């Protein structure tokens, strides 16, 4: 297997992008990434794109061919593949691209992600997202996505003493980070009180515990590490790429306060990278709901099980803490265009490791991690990056 | 959205109505809904049909204030993960005031309407759960 590096990145502004289409966004992100890598269309061997539900959101499937077409690559007939793993579609696209390069089959490969979610009503969007859960044995009985995470939160609170204030702190921190990120959906500081006084969605989760509905696209360009310096002065190595699955339905899991898919993908990625969790300087984790970030930092081994809430309260994961988490603003405040999220995480980590993250820069960041979850934990992807 | 569509979520699924699942006699694990493959024994499994007693314990729960369009008319409603006495866990609504739902609470199954496809569409029936009170135990006797 060959070592793989990122040689270019691009990401659109996230948010309610009523003035642009999915096609506009993917072209914008793709052109940025290709420009950053200084490659030409002729050099691209393959494209992978993460997209959860073009069919439900914009009534458009066949996103693979569409993005190749929008990127101006149709006359080059570049193979282009759409992959789907619900909210982990972007992370999965990155992994497919890594495998293509690592295997030696392809040299220059683009991994992209895109979602256009705001063209439908909130109810339709919620229903499309609910398709990531078990439609027949969860949604049929009235489960919603916030409800599934709320049930994890409820049990976590009961077992470990995690508080609503600790969960709210995740949102407060991520909104603070987002204020320093030009592409973030929200540039708005919030307080713990704001979170706790916002309407309940599914007890104990309030509106401000939940990631928003968003539009956005992101792209990264991969190359074999041995070739990377030809294209980029500051290539970023992908030293771990792992994926794991678990039961589709939350109720079938071994433990309702652990995402075993995250545990397994994390261990596998750390083994590949040959490092321990404490070596990580900056991490983007899947905070679709505030409890999600607390579970993630536990399941990835950054803190012991049950200590995620307290660690957040103590400031460990703040920009000034020992492990800054979600410097982009996370899904919560940077926005969560589901197919794009996993690629945006890689984009943020690359900026951090290049030292180009502006006001939210983590000092001397050498090792970064991206963690992307599909559904309530049926899929997890973990990637580890180094300079 | 289920309304105004062909009934995609309707099948002849008897398990919706009577909590029948499967039991693997090799590893002695019970499954609901029934599985075609035992995740422990896989092809070496011996699966037989099993009808659950239906009583169980609430493992965790929530009250939903903001639902998908099909369930909006029910809000707020209680949802829980219930561990049936034989072992498997399932997701279901709890018919009770939200203040009355607690982790560890014992519940029993009740047969209820779960949803409707508009005024002229199919009505979905299935299992919800209600608190297992001493009184209802007495009634069952």
Q: Which residues pair with B80 in a beta bridge?
A: B61, B92
Higher model confidence: residue A276 or residue B14? A276
pTM equals 0.95
Domain identity same for B107 and B86: yes
Domain identity same for B83 and B131: yes
A322 catalytically annotated = no
What is the C-alpha separation between A200 and A261, in angstroms, rounded? Answer: 28
The yes-or-no verdict on residue A60 having pLDDT over 90 is: yes
Which chain A residues contact residue B92 at CB under 8 A? 141
Among A246, A215, A220, A235, which Cα is nearest to A336's? A215
Which chain A residues contact residue B33 at CB under 8 A? 136-137
What is the C-alpha separation between A313 and A328, in angstroms, rounded? Answer: 19
Q: Under an 8 A CB cutoff, do A142 and B71 touch?
A: yes
Q: Under an 8 A CB cutoff, do B67 and A142 touch?
A: yes
Q: What percent of chain B has pLDDT over 90?
A: 54
| Mean confidence (pLDDT) of chain A | 97
Domain identity same for B35 and B60: no
- How confident is the model over A7-22, as a mean pLDDT? 97
Higher model confidence: residue A206 or residue B33? A206
The residue in chain A having the minimum alpha-carbon distance to the alpha carbon of residue B114 is A141
Shortest distance, CA B141 to any CA of chain A (angstroms): 29
The DSSP letter of residue A358 is G
- Among B36, B51, B66, which residue terminates a domain? B51
The yes-or-no verdict on residue B14 having pLDDT over 80 is: no
- Report DSSP letters for chain B, one per residue: --TTS--TT----THHHH-EEEEETTT--EESS--SSBTTTBTT--EEEEE----EEEEEEEEESS--GGGGGG-SEEEEEEEETTS-EEEEEE-S-GGG--TT-EEEEEEEEEEESTTTSPEEEEEEEEE--HHHHHHH-
In a domain, B109, yes or no: yes
What is the C-alpha separation between B12 and A58, in angstroms, rounded? Answer: 32
Domain identity same for B61 and B34: no
Domain identity same for B103 and B40: no
pLDDT at residue B140 in the model: 44
CA distances from A22 to A54, A70, A84, A116 (A): 9, 10, 16, 6
pLDDT at residue B96 in the model: 87
For A199, the closest of B64, B65, B126 (CB atoms) is B65
Number of structural domains found in chain B:
2
In a domain, B1, yes or no: no
B99 touching A, CB under 8 A? no
In a domain, B73, yes or no: yes
Q: What percent of chain A has pLDDT over 70?
A: 100
For CA atoms A349, A354, A360, A364, the dihedral sign is positive
Which chain A residues contact residue B13 at CB under 8 A? 136
- Say if CB A162 and CB A261 are below 8 A apart: no
Encoded tokens for A289: 């709901």
User: Can you give the CATH number for the domain in which B63 is found?
Assistant: 2.40.50.840
Domain identity same for B45 and B62: no
Chain A interface test: which of B1, B5, B68, B89 (most A C-beta within 10 Å): B68
- Say if CB A67 and CB A32 are below 8 A apart: no
A336 catalytically annotated = yes
The yes-or-no verdict on residue B135 having pLDDT over 80 is: no
What is the C-alpha separation between A378 and A261, in angstroms, rounded? Answer: 7
Lookup result for tokens 């099980």: A305
Q: Under an 8 A CB cutoff, do B72 and A123 touch?
A: yes
Tell the CATH topology of A4-121+214-235. Peroxisomal Thiolase; Chain A, domain 1 (3.40.47)
For A256, the closest of B60, B69, B98 (CB atoms) is B60
Shortest distance, CA B31 to any CA of chain A (angstroms): 10
The yes-or-no verdict on residue A178 having pLDDT over 60 is: yes
The yes-or-no verdict on residue B18 having pLDDT over 90 is: no
pLDDT at residue B2 in the model: 47
SS3 A153: helix
In a domain, B125, yes or no: yes
Chain A interface test: which of B67, B69, B72 (most A C-beta within 10 Å): B67
* pLDDT tens for each residue of A318-363: 999 999 999 999 999 999 999 999 999 999 999 999 999 999 999 9
For A127, the closest of B69, B90, B91 (CB atoms) is B69
Q: Under an 8 A CB cutoff, do A127 and B98 touch?
A: no
Encoded tokens for A145: 């996505």
- Residues A191, A197, A202, A204, Cα dihedral to 10°: 70
* pLDDT tens for each residue of A262-320: 999 999 999 999 999 999 999 999 999 999 999 999 999 999 999 999 999 999 999 99
For B68, the closest of A130, A137, A151 (CB atoms) is A130
What is the C-alpha separation between A22 and A15, in angstroms, rounded? Answer: 13
Q: List all residues of chain B from 14 to 43 with a beta carbon under 8 Å from chain A.
A: 16, 33
Domain identity same for B47 and B93: no
Chain A residues touching chain B at CB-CB below 8 Å: 123-124, 126-127, 130, 135-144, 146-147, 150-152, 154-155, 158, 199-205, 249-252, 256
For A202, the closest of B64, B88, B103 (CB atoms) is B64
Domain identity same for B43 and B101: no
Domain identity same for B60 and B45: no
Among A142, A161, A150, which Cα is nearest to B71's? A142
In a domain, B63, yes or no: yes
The yes-or-no verdict on residue B9 having pLDDT over 70 is: no
- Report DSSP letters for A157-219, one per residue: HHHH---HHHHHHHHHHHHHHHTT-TT-S------HHHHHHSPEEETTEEGGGB----EEEEE
Which CATH number does the domain A142-213+237-386 belong to among 1.10.10.10, 3.20.20.70, 3.40.50.300, 3.40.47.10?
A: 3.40.47.10
The yes-or-no verdict on residue B3 having pLDDT over 80 is: no
Domain that holds residue B24: 19-51
In a domain, B2, yes or no: no
The residue in chain A having the minimum alpha-carbon distance to the alpha carbon of residue B94 is A141
The residue in chain B having the minimum alpha-carbon distance to the alpha carbon of residue A257 is B60
Q: Where in chain A is the domain with CATH 3.40.47.10?
A: 4-121+214-235, 142-213+237-386
Lookup result for tokens 């061919």: A65
* pLDDT tens for each residue of B37-94: 999 998 888 999 999 999 999 999 999 999 988 888 899 999 999 999 999 999 999 9
Domain identity same for B96 and B34: no
Encoded tokens for B86: 């034989």
- How confident is the model over A363-374, as a mean pLDDT? 98
In a domain, B82, yes or no: yes
| Length of chain A counted residue by residue | 387
Pairing mode, if any, of strands A109-116 and A46-50?
parallel
In a domain, B72, yes or no: yes
- Among B32, B51, B70, which residue terminates a domain? B51
| Burial class of residue A45 (count of CB atoms within 10 Å of its CB; 0-12, 13-18, 19+) | middle
B57 touching A, CB under 8 A? no
Domain identity same for B57 and B86: yes
For A124, the closest of B1, B66, B71 (CB atoms) is B1
Domain identity same for B41 and B59: no
| Strand order, beta sheet including B30-31 | B30-31, B20-24, B47-51
Q: What's the ipTM? A: 0.94
- Say if CB B54 and CB B84 are below 8 A apart: yes
Shortest distance, CA B133 to any CA of chain A (angstroms): 23
- Say if CB A268 and CB A384 are below 8 A apart: no
**Banded pLDDT at B12 (limits 50, 70, 90):** low
Q: Which of A87, A139, A210, A334 is catalytic?
A: A87
Q: Under an 8 A CB cutoff, do A146 and B79 touch?
A: no
Which chain A residues contact residue B79 at CB under 8 A? 141-143, 147, 151, 202
B5 touching A, CB under 8 A? no
Q: Which of A156, A177, A336, A383 is catalytic?
A: A336
What is the C-alpha separation between B51 and B32, in angstroms, rounded? Answer: 10
The yes-or-no verdict on residue A204 having pLDDT over 80 is: yes
Among A269, A257, A282, A286, which Cα is nearest to A375's? A286
């Amino acid at each position: 297997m060959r070592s793989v590096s990122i040689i270019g990145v691009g990401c659109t502004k996230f948010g309610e992008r009523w003035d642009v289409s999915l096609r506009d966004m993917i072209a914008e992100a793709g052109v940025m990434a290709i420009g950053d890598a200084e490659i030409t269309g002729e050099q691209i061997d393959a494209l992978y794109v993460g997209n959860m539900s073009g069919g439900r959101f914009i009534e458009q499937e066949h996103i693979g061919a569409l993005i190749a077409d929008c990127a101006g690559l149709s006359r080059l007939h570049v193979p282009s593949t759409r992959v789907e793993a619900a909210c982990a579609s972007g992370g999965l696209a990155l992994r497919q691209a890594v495998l293509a390069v690592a295997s030696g089959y392809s040299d220059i490969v683009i991994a992209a992600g895109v979602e256009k979610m705001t063209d439908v009503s909130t109810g339709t969007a919620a229903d499309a997202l609910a398709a990531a859960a078990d439609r027949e044995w969860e949604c049929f009985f009235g489960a919603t996505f916030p409800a599934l995470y709320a049930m994890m939160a409820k049990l976590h609170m009961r077992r470990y003493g995690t508080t609503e204030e600790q969960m709210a702190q995740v949102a407060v921190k991520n909104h603070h980070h987002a204020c320093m990120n030009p592409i973030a959906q929200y540039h708005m500081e919030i307080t713990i009180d704001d979170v706790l006084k916002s309407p309940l969605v599914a007890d104990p989760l309030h509106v401000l515990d939940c990631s928003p509905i968003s539009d956005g696209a992101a792209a990264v360009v991969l190359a074999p590490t041995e070739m990377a310096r030809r294209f980029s002065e500051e290539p970023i190595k992908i030293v771990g790429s792992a994926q794991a699955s678990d039961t589709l339905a939350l109720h079938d899991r071994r433990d309702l306060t652990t995402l075993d898919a995250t545990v397994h993908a994390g261990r596998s990625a750390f083994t590949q990278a040959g490092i321990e969790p404490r070596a990580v300087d900056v991490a983007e984790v899947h905070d679709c709901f505030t409890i999600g970030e607390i579970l993630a930092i536990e399941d990835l081994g950054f803190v012991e099980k049950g200590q995620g809430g307290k660690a957040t309260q103590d400031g460990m994961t703040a920009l000034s803490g020992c492990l800054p988490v979600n410097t982009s603003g996370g899904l919560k405040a940077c926005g969560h265009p589901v197919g794009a999220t996993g690629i945006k995480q890689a984009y943020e980590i690359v900026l951090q490791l290049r030292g180009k993250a502006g006001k939210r820069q983590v000092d001397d960041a050498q090792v970064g991690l991206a963690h992307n979850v599909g559904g309530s934990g049926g899929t997890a992807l973990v990637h580890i990056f180094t300079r | 959205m289920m309304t105004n569509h062909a009934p995609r979520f309707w099948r002849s699924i008897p398990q919706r109505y009577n909590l029948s699942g499967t039991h693997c006699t090799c590893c002695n694990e019970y499954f609901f809904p029934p599985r075609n493959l035992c995740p422990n024994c896989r092809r070496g499994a011996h699966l037989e049909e099993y009808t659950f007693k239906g009583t169980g314990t609430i493992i965790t729960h929530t009250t939903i204030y903001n639902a998908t369009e099909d369930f909006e008319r029910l809000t707020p409603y209680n949802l829980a993960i219930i561990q049936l006495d034989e072992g498997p866990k399932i997701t279901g609504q709890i018919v009770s005031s939200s203040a009355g739902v607690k982790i560890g609470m014992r519940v029993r199954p009740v047969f209820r309407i779960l949803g409707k496809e508009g005024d002229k569409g199919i009505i979905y029936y299935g299992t919800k759960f209600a608190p297992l009170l001493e009184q209802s135990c007495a009634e069952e006797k």
